[in-house]
Structure 1
Amino acid sequence: MISIKTELTPEEQHQKDLERLEQMRPMDDDLMREIFRNNIPLAEFVLRIMTGMDDLIITSEETQYDLEHLLGARSICLDVLATDSEGRKFNLEIQRSDRGASPKRARYHSSAIDVEFLKAKQDFSKLPITYVIFITETDVRGANRPIYLFDRQDTVTGEPFGDDEHIIFVNGAYNNPDDNSDLAKLIHDFGCRNDEDMYFDLMAESTHFYKKTEKGVSHMCKLMEDMRNDEKVIIAIKLLKRGKESLEEIAEDSGLSLEDVKDLAAQLDIIPA
């Protein structure tokens, strides 16, 4: 059995977290969610460039928006969900792996948003216009373009289907030194580790806060600590449900304290081996 129990001292673990933070870019989920959290100006700026809608006005924005309202259906957590002044919905997602950027995943995100925002007995005409935007680390479409835009249309005439569903893939690997467009510059900024190398102030300022200021760095280190604790809880629950290890063994293998494991067992009403 593989144990995740760390042998690092708190000081060593903190240093490791700082080193990990130093390597983070807006392309990384953990940093991306924080720089966009409660940051309507940044969301608006980024979405204007990606959609080409210069007059876009974002009225609300939320990170880690949970969609899990259909019983038995797969739940998803949206990286960023924004709404504009016309009621259009924009889902902005970081997809680091090619597998995570599949067309069917984009379709599912779009469908889940539809279900979330059409209330019981509402007419289907009330479905909002939706944009699902995947920022991918590699060029998953393979045409060396900065952006790929997808809408349904008649395959014979090319006439738009008119369902108001739009899917966009932004190629995070795009790097053309002759392209001076705002989109090319924005893609560059998403891949930057150093805010001083970024083109756009809004992206640089938010990145600087979470990577360079005492308050922002402390927040990010706390997030990393919480995520480690969450992973330990997940492992402990699996071991408790399997019922083959003692509480002491589960504590050792998960990295949780014995008291925490006992609390979990009590919450789950599990009598350990």
Structure 2
Amino acid sequence: MKVHFFLCLFNFIFCKVLEENPDVSKKILEMLLNIKIDRIEKTCSEYSLKTDFDSHGVRFDVYVKDGTGRCFDIEIQTSKVTKLAKRARYYQGLMDVDNIQSGGNYESLKESYVIFLCMGDAFGYNLPVYTFRYIALEDKAIEMGDGTVNVFFNAGMYDKMESENMFLKIA
């Protein structure tokens, strides 16, 4: 019971700190993804999206949009990890719906990242980080290039990550 309370409290504090301090959001995203962000346009905690009255909505823990239009959803997964792959898929889709205007060109869709910070191993292969992008099964060097990235961090294997100074280096 106490552990659950402290994890919920941590989640709340983490979300509030990122929402109220865009520079902290920027630095965390740059460290996690090994990317450069010039500026943050928008940071919201507990950001809700729903496409219509009877659809299943979502509430992103922390939703960030940078100056180029790239979107980032940072999820703190404090409970047992289940069905995160399908959840990431759904979150990616709703982020796209939120970021393209009616009649808009699909090319206007910017990169979007769904990031899960998990207490444990989301997939059971004992990796500290799992990064997913669409690739061709026939030639794994060919990326689809749709701009979607899903990243799952395993906090239980933090000591196995590539750098002590950065959570992750994605090539």
Question: Please, what TM-score do these two structures have when normalized by structure 2?
Answer: 0.84
AA of the residue aligned to 1:150:
F
Over 3 Å counting, the alpha-carbon distance change for 1:109 and 1:122 in structure 2 is same
Q: Deviations over 1:89-126 (max 9, x none)?
A: 01101112344552000000111111111111111111
Q: Deviations over 1:140-185 (max 9, x none)?
A: 1233332211000111111101111111111121242796422349
Partner of 1:105: 87
Partner of 1:130: 112
What is the CA-CA distance between 1:56 and the residue it aligns to? 4.8
1:166 matched to 2:149: yes
Partner of 1:48: 30
8 Å CA contact 1:101–1:134 kept in 2: the answer is no
Over 3 Å counting, the alpha-carbon distance change for 1:155 and 1:25 in structure 2 is same
Task: Report the number of matched residues.
Answer: 165
Q: Which residue of the other structure, out of 126, 138, 162, is the alignment partner of 1:144?
A: 126
Higher helix share: 1
Partner of 2:48: 66
Give runs of aligned pairs for residues 243-254 of structure 1, distance below 5 A.
none
- In structure 2, runs of 5+ residues without a counterpart are none
8 Å CA contact 2:91–2:114 kept in 1: the answer is yes
Over 3 Å counting, the alpha-carbon distance change for 1:130 and 1:180 in structure 2 is closer
Q: 2: distance between equivalents of 1:167 and 1:144? A: 17
Indicate the structure (1 or 2) with the bigger Cα radius of gyration.
Answer: 1
- In structure 1, runs of 5+ residues without a counterpart are 1-19, 186-273
Give runs of aligned pairs for residues 163-202 of structure 1, distance below 5 A.
163-176=146-159, 180-184=163-167
Give runs of aligned pairs for residues 83-102 of structure 1, distance below 5 A.
83-100=65-82, 102=84
8 Å CA contact 2:7–2:78 kept in 1: the answer is no
Q: 2: distance between equivalents of 1:65 and 1:177? A: 32
% identical equivalent positions: 22
What is the CA-CA distance between 1:28 and the residue it aligns to? 3.4
8 Å CA contact 1:174–1:184 kept in 2: the answer is no
8 Å CA contact 2:135–2:143 kept in 1: the answer is yes
8 Å CA contact 2:82–2:122 kept in 1: the answer is no
Over 3 Å counting, the alpha-carbon distance change for 1:29 and 1:169 in structure 2 is same
What is the CA-CA distance between 1:75 and the residue it aligns to? 0.6
Over 3 Å counting, the alpha-carbon distance change for 1:130 and 1:59 in structure 2 is same
Q: Which residue of the other structure, out of 62, 68, 78, is the alignment partner of 1:80?
A: 62
Partner of 1:34: 16
SS of 1:37 mapped into structure 2 = helix
Q: 1: distance between equivalents of 2:122 and 2:160? A: 20
Q: Deviations over 1:189-226 (max 9, x none)?
A: xxxxxxxxxxxxxxxxxxxxxxxxxxxxxxxxxxxxxx
Q: 2: distance between equivalents of 1:34 and 1:101? A: 26
RMSD: 2.6
AA of the residue aligned to 1:182:
N
User: Which runs of at least 4 in structure 1 moved beyond 6 Å after TM superposition?
Assistant: none
What is the CA-CA distance between 1:54 and the residue it aligns to? 3.6
Higher strand share: 2
AA of the residue aligned to 1:157:
D
